[in-house]
Amino acid sequence: MNDLTSLDMVSRLRSSGKRITPERKLLLRIIEQHAHLDAEEIYRIAQRDRPQIGLATVYRTLTLLKNLDIVRATDLGENHGHYEVRSEEHVHLVCSICGCVTDVPVPSALRAAAKKEQFAVQSTHFEIFGTCRSCSDKPSTASEAKRG
């Protein structure tokens, strides 16, 4: 499965009878450029272009894009959705210190295990929590705490 381009996304919106409003276009562009933002972060960026945009519009649009399978939302351990353009299935490495998110491919062992169970995988959503490289390089508060 290839990544959706903005053109694909716009044509998908159009073919489902949805209007391409400037707000929808803007939000799509933001999600495309910055993966894994939550609704409020998307809202803040959108306001730079369209100060009049409302948070309710952002939520409504995100739900629409999700229902059309254009974007997907993942809970990165925060109990709310983080949005990204639907792309190849992947696993999220989430840094518990700086919150950065890295996409890595789904391990083939997992795919093989599901196949062995004759389980038809529709989507894979999971997160691995830990510390990213730049955070582990820093003399961290976590290791200071351990030293007591």
Q: Applying CB under 5 A, which residues contact Zn ion?
A: 84, 95, 97-98, 103, 132, 135
Cβ proximity to Zn ion: between 45 and 53 the closer is 45
Cβ proximity to Zn ion: between 53 and 86 the closer is 86
Least Å distance, CB 90 to Zn ion, is 6
Rounded Cα gap, residues 114 and 95, in angstroms: 27
Least Å distance, CB 72 to Zn ion, is 8
Rounded Cα gap, residues 11 and 22, in angstroms: 15
Cβ proximity to Zn ion: between 54 and 77 the closer is 77
Cβ proximity to Zn ion: between 21 and 136 the closer is 136
Residues 39-51 as b/e (b if ≥16 CB within 10 A, e otherwise) read beebbebbeeeee
Residue 33 structure tokens? 């450029």
Helices and strands per DSSP (H, E), number in the chain: 7, 6
Least Å distance, CB 100 to Zn ion, is 5
Least Å distance, CB 60 to Zn ion, is 23
Q: Which residue has the tokens 């929808």?
A: 24
